């Protein structure tokens, strides 16, 4: 195991990480997008993005796009490279505000978090469409890990923290249990060649209706490219 630093809240850090990784000339068979914050007070990343959207979504969007060439070179017909992005059941209540992705008009920690998680599902579906259109040996899937007992809840109201402390053993998954569906998506033979899936408890399930809106997927992709400063070559594809 080798550690390379990458701060998903910093576009500069992401680009430096990718540069370091590429310099090693290593193949990339599995990419798991799993960084995130939840219910943080209104604040911005160093690039000026609202933190939920900037870290949870845009950081992974940029990282994945910068590593796509390596993933495509690493995948084969019999062993596709795999991209697994971790979302949340919260995406079901999320709304994507294309005219206000930074939540400047009205900030709600819950709304911003849910929007970032919906964006990850939309991104995954659009990415899989583009990978298929290009004939790439890479699959992209999105995972709902369930309610997991981690430090992700440190910004919730203190009463919720107390309830969580008292009931976590009964209602929350352990981190190991929470990771099981991600691991399934990453290594299971059953997922070989399968992309564009929303997975929960190692089963394919239906995501929010809004996530299947192809026009919304395209518009988010185009806007995301502008925000992180990369070429939107995908806009020329159907």
- pLDDT tens by residue, 40-71: 889 999 999 999 999 999 999 999 999 999 99
Backbone angles phi, psi at 36, to 5 degrees: 175, 160
- Asked whether residue 113 is domain-assigned, the answer is yes
pLDDT confidence tier of residue 171, bands split at 50, 70 and 90: low
Q: Which of 57, 113, 125, 184 is catalytic?
A: 113
For the chain, percent of residues with pLDDT exceeding 90: 73
Our count of domains for the chain comes to 1
Q: What is the mean pLDDT of residues 171-183?
A: 75
Q: Where residue 151 falls among pLDDT bands split at 50, 70, 90?
A: low
* Residue 75 pLDDT level (bands cut at 50, 70, 90): very high
Judge whether 113 counts as a catalytic residue.
yes
Contact residues for 153 (Cβ-Cβ < 8 A; gap 6+): 38, 160, 161, 164
For position 88, which CATH number holds?
3.40.50.720
> For residue 27, how many other CB atoms are within 10 A of its CB?
11
| Structural domain boundaries enclosing 194 | 11-228
Instruction: Indicate the pLDDT class of residue 178, thresholds 50, 70 and 90.
Output: low
């Amino acid at each position: 195991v080798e550690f390379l630093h990458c701060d998903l809240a910093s576009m500069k850090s992401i680009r430096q990480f990718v540069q370091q990784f590429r310099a090693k000339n290593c193949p990339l068979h599995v990419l798991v997008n799993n960084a995130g914050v939840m219910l943080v007070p209104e604040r911005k990343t160093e690039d000026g993005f609202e933190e939920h959207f900037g870290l949870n979504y845009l950081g992974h969007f940029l990282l994945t796009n910068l590593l796509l060439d390596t993933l495509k070179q690493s995948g084969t017909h019999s062993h596709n490279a795999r991209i697994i992005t971790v979302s949340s059941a919260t995406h079901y209540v999320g709304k994507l505000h294309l005219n206000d992705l930074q939540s400047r008009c009205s900030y709600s920690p819950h709304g911003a978090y849910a929007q970032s998680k919906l964006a990850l599902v939309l991104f995954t579906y659009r990415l899989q469409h583009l990978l298929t259109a290009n004939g790439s040996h890479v699959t992209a899937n999105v995972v709902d890990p369930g309610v997991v007992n981690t430090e992700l809840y440190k910004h919730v109201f203190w009463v919720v923290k107390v309830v969580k402390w008292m009931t976590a053993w009964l209602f929350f998954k352990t981190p190991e249990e929470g990771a099981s569906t991600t691991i399934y998506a990453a290594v299971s033979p059953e997922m070989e060649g399968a992309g564009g899936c929303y997975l929960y408890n190692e089963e394919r399930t239906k995501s929010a209706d809004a996530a299947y809106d192809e026009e919304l997927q395209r518009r988010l992709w185009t806007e995301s490219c502008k925000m992180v400063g990369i070429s939107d070559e995908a806009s020329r594809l159907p």
